[in-house]
Structure 1
Amino acid sequence: MPEASGWPGAPRYLGIDEEGREVLTYFEGHAAWEPQQPPAVYSDESLLRVTQLVREFHDLTAGTELAGSQELVCHNDLSPKNTVYRTVSGALRPVVFIDWDLAAPGASIHDVAHVCWQYLGLGPSVEDTSEAARQLRLIADSYGLVDRRDVISAT
């Protein structure tokens, strides 16, 4: 099957096969599903690209019929294991998201929060909170989230 995508970051729908299954384009690459991954999977450059892919998808679905009465369509399961990486300029970089079975109308912050949780490994085992905070800011800035501290302190 030739590689193609309706937009950067997702396989393209090709139809239904004779057994009633959806057929999508195939993307060759590295899916980061095992516990140990090459450092490039968690690099700042990869985080930036993941965030850009999420933003592109969100921008394309915002206000569309697919989003219904919600802000846009969310993937709802963004994580390294649902990302295909390829070598780009000598390093593994995210190129497409897979596993879209949970996609549904929702709010952008849900996918952005999921990216932070899954790609940064947030939780009680985080050892370097300053590094986690730096990476959270990187994701927030790359996505274009507005700093709401001024609104919170004014109320």
Structure 2
Amino acid sequence: MHALLRHLEAAGFEGAPRALGTDHLGRQVLTYVEGEVPGRPLPGYAVTGEALAALARLLRRFHDAAASFTPPPAARWEDGSAVGDRPEIVGHCDVTPRNVVFRPSSPGGGALVPYALIDFDLARPVTRLFDVVTTLRHWAPIADPVDRDPVQRTLDAGARLRLFCDAYGLGPRDRLRLLETARTRFGRSYQVMRDKARAEPGWARMWADGAGERIRRAAAWLDANEDALHAYLI
């Protein structure tokens, strides 16, 4: 993770903390990224179209900077769900609202928009599309309305998929594969979380809190709405 963050700094990507090494107790030390991180329930500024487009552009800049990163030979990554495609980059893989720092859109003020990504603990080799799908899972969102944050329940998920893909610059081939990739990810994510819940207390708590059921509901919602969503992507 620190090697990735040092590479991002060298590449001129400003939207991530800087790795400073470890302290005398062996704890990781990173720079503090000033700004606002949305809490729960989500504030209105976190779900605007302007914020979604800015997030897509931020993720694209991160992906472009990460594309030239060569992991150290002994690099070990967090195990996680994937779709089986050959990795293209080291992705963030956890771009949830709690891992995005917002700042005003201009020096003099303006609406709060995504400025930086934090918490790279789940970073690992994946495709760009996989990281896009993982992000849209939370921000479109690709989820059953019953599991969405209150301010997300009336959002048009299909229109937001289109807005994000346009702002990111996602190509036609990946747009056609987006929903298929999301479906595959749901299946893999369910299996990974279930297995980790059997061995790790933190994952066990998330599983007991209904993580598996939410994934199943999201997959069912995607199946029921696939045609309508696909129309926004062609």
Smaller-chain TM-score bracket: 0.7 to 0.9
Equivalent of 1:46, from 24, 44, 51?
A: 51
The alpha-carbon deviation at position 141 of structure 1 amounts to 1.3
Equivalent of 2:98, from 81, 99, 109?
A: 81
* Identity %, equivalent residues: 37
Q: Would the aligned equivalents of 1:67 and 1:105 in 2 still touch at CA under 8 Å?
A: no
TM-score, structure 1 as length reference: 0.82
Structure with the larger helix share: 2
Structure 1 CA distance, aligned partners of 2:103 and 2:166? 24
The alpha-carbon deviation at position 135 of structure 1 amounts to 0.9
Ranked by relative contact order (alpha carbons within 8 Å, sequence separation 6 or more), the top structure is: 1
TM-score, structure 2 as length reference: 0.56
Gaps of 5+ in 2: 1-7, 74-85, 178-234
Gaps of 5+ in 1: none
Q: Deviations over 1:46-75 (max 9, x none)?
A: 111111111111111114313987300110
Q: Would the aligned equivalents of 1:82 and 1:98 in 2 still touch at CA under 8 Å?
A: yes
Structure showing greater Rg: 2
Equivalent of 2:60, from 55, 63, 69?
A: 55
The alpha-carbon deviation at position 15 of structure 1 amounts to 1.3
Equivalent of 1:113, from 133, 148, 170?
A: 133
Equivalent of 1:29, from 27, 30, 35?
A: 35
Structure with the larger strand share: 1
Q: Would the aligned equivalents of 1:77 and 1:114 in 2 still touch at CA under 8 Å?
A: yes
- SS for the counterpart of 1:41 is helix
The alpha-carbon deviation at position 148 of structure 1 amounts to 3.1
> What is the Cα-based RMSD across aligned positions, in Å?
2.5
Structure 1 CA distance, aligned partners of 2:67 and 2:19? 19
Residue correspondences, number: 145
